[in-house]
Amino acid sequence: MAAKITVSASDVWGYFQDAKEDLKSHMHQIAGNPEYGVAIFVTEDSGLPSIVVTADDVQVYEETAVNAHDCQKTVEKIYDDYLTSKVIASLLGSDDDSDDLTALDIEDMIDERESELDAAVYEFVMTAIQGANFDDYTSDFDDICEDLKEHFLEYMARKHGLPVYRPMMLEYEDGTEEMSEYPYEDMEFEDPDNPLYKA
């Protein structure tokens, strides 16, 4: 029997938003592969969509998405792993690294997230100044927004301990690089005693 997709990967985030209250107590099936007894569900986890995979009614995988882009990418990968010929390897926990993120995937992920954060900061600034003409005060609008983004996200993480989803490549003293999705836990700052971050 062919795999069946009830909710496409690109629609799962919106589906979750519409059904969030019910998903707090129920799982909704969004896809399945009857040939292998696989069912894929979405449920709610701390206000975010969690994608659950079961095989013969036993949970074999679960992953929570943090935003619309991440949700689509997560569901696309889960659909690929459990609704295609890869299902056997996925259920057996294959060590095949063929699905690892490529350098281009990582670059795209970083660029997409930075664009989302830039848009959020822009909306915040425009709301804060209540329609005032920014050019009357400065010509460095882009630089100011970038500065605000850097300080605001760092402040959230260091002052309040909130998780910040901002994937980036971190470079270490030995020259090695590693991608981190929540970089502020690993970053060293030039001004650790900045009074802004003190309780």
87 plus 122 within the same structural domain: no
126 plus 162 within the same structural domain: yes
Q: Which of 73, 92, 111 marks a domain boundary?
A: 92
How many structural domains compose the chain? Answer: 2
Does the residue 98 lie in any domain? Answer: no
138 plus 158 within the same structural domain: yes
Average pLDDT for 95-118: 73
| Long-range pairs of 77-86 with CB within 8 A, sequence gap ≥ 24 | 78/40, 78/51, 78/53, 79/5, 79/9, 79/31, 79/40, 82/33, 82/36, 82/38, 82/40, 82/53, 83/3, 83/5, 83/31, 83/32, 83/33, 83/38, 83/40, 84/3
Residue 54 pLDDT greater than 90, yes or no: yes
Express each pLDDT in 56-76 by its tens digit: 899 999 999 989 988 999 999
Chain-wide mean pLDDT for the chain? 84
Percentage, residues of the chain above pLDDT 90: 31
Residue 193 pLDDT greater than 70, yes or no: no
Does the residue 157 lie in any domain? Answer: yes
Does the residue 161 lie in any domain? Answer: yes
More confident call, 108 vs 8: 8
Domain ranges, residue 141: 103-197
